[in-house]
Amino acid sequence: MKVALPARAKLNLDLKVIGRRGDGFHDIETHMQSIALHDLLEAAPSKRTSFEADGLSVPAAADNIVVKALAAIQAAVGRELPTQFHLRKLIPPGAGLGGASSDAAAALRAVKMIHGLDVNLAEIAGAVGADVPFFLTGGCALAEGARLVRDRLAGYRTLDRKRLRCVGRDQRRAAERSAARRRASGRPRQRLRGTARS
């Protein structure tokens, strides 16, 4: 049995900093939406595990998150699951689009399918990466928790489109009210700088 699964990129539609934690990082809220741009991961049972990739540059097999995802699911079931992987990499690495985490989620789904496993992928995904659980189903979700330097998010829950439109409308109105107050007071516009630690 061979499967080919899309590993979709995501966008962060907004970002709200809730407060600073004692460790110097920040608690945040962000709405994430999966998009059409995707990598393609092919997987098939094999006598031994192998990993190949084309397209954009990715880490070698030993360091690639696809192989790390396989190791995590093997640890969960307590046996080897030799798998042949081929990744077509189209999501630009390091662009904040979640490409690596999405590849990991696709690997977990593929291995479960081709090896006929009865496992809870959500529990395994969290050990691979903090936002890997989101990519198991994609769609739209609200992420809450501590934002480390590389978008490490926790606490996903489903958010329907109607509610998302309401959130966007409320944030737009809040921004308009804030801009009006700023103009009335004569204060200059504040600029946020891109650091997660202070």
Question: Span 87-97, mean pLDDT?
Answer: 93
Assessment of whether the complete model's pTM goes beyond 0.75: no
Q: What is residue 178's predicted lDDT score, i.e. its pLDDT?
A: 63
Q: Active-site positions?
A: 10, 131
Amino acid making up residue 88: R
Per-range mean pLDDT, top range of 29-33, 43-47, 56-60: 43-47
Percent pLDDT > 70 in the chain is: 74
pLDDT band (50, 70, 90) for residue 19: confident
What does the mean pLDDT of the chain come to?
Answer: 80
pLDDT at 149 exceeding the cut of 50: no
Pick the residue with more confidence: 152 or 16?
16
The predicted-structure confidence for 47-90, as pLDDT tens digits, reads as follows: 999 999 999 988 888 889 999 999 999 999 999 999 999 999 99
Question: Span 138-142, mean pLDDT?
Answer: 85
CATH of 3-160, one of 3.30.230.10, 1.10.10.10, 3.30.1310.10, 3.40.640.10: 3.30.230.10
